[in-house]
Amino acid sequence: MKWVGIGILLSLISLIACADRSGYTVTIQGEIEGIKYGKAYLSTLGENNSILLSTPIENGKFTLKGALPEKGRYLLNVNRKTIFLFLDGENIQVKASYNQLDNSDIKGSEANDLELEYSQLVKEKYQKEFGKLQADYREILQQGDQKTADDKMSEILQLGERRYLLAKEFIKKHPDNIFSIHIANMETQGRYEKGKELYDLLSPAMKRTTQGKELKQRVDELANSALGVPCPGIQAETEQGELITIDSLKGHFVVLDFWASWCGPCRQEMKNLKTLHEEFASQGVSFVSISFDDSTEKWKKACEEEQIPWMSLLDKKGWKNSEIRQALGIQQIPFIVLLDREGNIVAKNIRRNLLRDKLVEVIK
């Protein structure tokens, strides 16, 4: 009897394992006005996206049915229309006009509904004010008032904290939905502390998904550049080809400015950095700009145009292949990192008045 019981148990385990491998089955029924024939297909995201389900369109109608790797974000293609959507329901309906087709026409997916809800929340609580501040900033820049422009940009940067808090509260409310992983991913933005806080809010089931595991891997990688830890080893070249390591600057507070010649906001940021350089260079603060330019010539030309008064270096691996960018979790530029005298990271992605306030604080 014992061996029979063990055999049954092993059979159940085998069935469970098979069920886990089968993925997530979905049926998507479409009824699209404005077209009669063509093709509908569902594919993965990314550079190497692959078609998972496909079917012909007959009289504007189609049915896609099959197994997907798991619940999550996919691409729905209807002829030449492409929709990014979240899928976590078993029966999805798409009923809309072809010319106005978007993910608001998707019914039957809670994750997709949450994306629409969250987008509206961000629009009302963040984007409206962000848009106004940005318009004010551009107008002030045109008037040539750099001081007021810096103040306005500082307001914009501080507003980013509000968006993060919106994301945090939304994930708290929906810890067991695949869309929450997407928000956590978007709001981590190269910051270990924020990423870990958002990841920890997810339910155990979401953490076990492929997307949850990928988020954890990204957050774990950012631990190497968390606040308070030594800055990862960074080395880059001077215009003369000399290799400089950031460790050689220990003993000073160091402002690391990551930029590129093709980045307009980066070059605008340098105007503020020059003001800070005048104020703090005599107080033991070193400034270093590191470019992700792929072209040495374009970098040197930009350096000459900007008349950078501090050390300017080039990461010869460029934006795409930069190990520096990966080590610090840099997803966009301008990106500024502040190091203390021992080479530890004091602040990341900090700019304008926020950077000045931090410099005053650490020097004291």
E-strand spans in the chain? 24-33, 37-43, 51-58, 61-68, 72-78, 81-87, 91-97, 106-107, 235-237, 243-245, 253-259, 285-291, 311-314, 335-339, 345-348
Lowest mean pLDDT: which of 4-18, 326-340, 349-363? 4-18
Do 244 and 325 belong to one domain? Answer: yes
* Residues 89-108: tens digit of each pLDDT: 999 999 999 999 999 999 99
Backbone torsions φ then ψ of 296, nearest 5 degrees: -65, -40
Do 240 and 358 belong to one domain? Answer: yes
14 confidence band (pLDDT: 50, 70, 90): very low
In-domain check, residue 191? yes
Mean pLDDT of the chain: 91
pLDDT of 5 reads 43
In-domain check, residue 329? yes
Q: Is the pLDDT of residue 12 over 70?
A: no
Q: Is the pLDDT of residue 160 over 80?
A: yes
In-domain check, residue 13? no
Do 27 and 92 belong to one domain? Answer: yes
Q: Is the pLDDT of residue 10 over 90?
A: no
Do 240 and 359 belong to one domain? Answer: yes
Do 322 and 266 belong to one domain? Answer: yes
* Residues 217-263: tens digit of each pLDDT: 999 999 999 999 999 989 999 988 899 999 999 999 999 999 999 99
**Residue 233 gets which letter from DSSP?**
P
Strands 72-78, 37-43: pairing kind: antiparallel
113 confidence band (pLDDT: 50, 70, 90): very high
CATH at residue 348: 3.40.30.10
Do 263 and 205 belong to one domain? Answer: no
pLDDT of 136 reads 94
In-domain check, residue 5? no
18 confidence band (pLDDT: 50, 70, 90): very low
132 confidence band (pLDDT: 50, 70, 90): very high
16 confidence band (pLDDT: 50, 70, 90): very low
Q: Which of 48, 80, 108 marks a domain boundary? A: 108
In-domain check, residue 14? no
CATH at residue 86: 2.60.40.3330
Do 320 and 241 belong to one domain? Answer: yes
Are 129 and 93 in contact, with CB atoms under 8 Å apart?
no
* Residues 269-292: tens digit of each pLDDT: 999 999 999 999 999 999 999 999
Number of domains in the chain: 3
Q: Which of 53, 80, 108 marks a domain boundary? A: 108
What CA–CA distance (Å, rounded) separates 131 from 13? Answer: 55
Q: Is the pLDDT of residue 178 over 70?
A: yes
Do 29 and 88 belong to one domain? Answer: yes
Do 36 and 127 belong to one domain? Answer: no
What CA–CA distance (Å, rounded) separates 55 from 305? Answer: 56
In-domain check, residue 230? no
**Residue 261 gets which letter from DSSP?**
T
Q: Which of 81, 108, 135 marks a domain boundary? A: 108
Do 35 and 137 belong to one domain? Answer: no
In-domain check, residue 324? yes
Q: Is the pLDDT of residue 349 over 70?
A: yes
- How large is the average pLDDT for residues 75-96? 94
- How large is the average pLDDT for residues 337-348? 96
* Residues 187-198: tens digit of each pLDDT: 998 899 999 999
9 confidence band (pLDDT: 50, 70, 90): very low
Do 250 and 353 belong to one domain? Answer: yes
Range of the domain at 265: 235-363
In-domain check, residue 249? yes
Do 146 and 195 belong to one domain? Answer: yes
82 confidence band (pLDDT: 50, 70, 90): very high
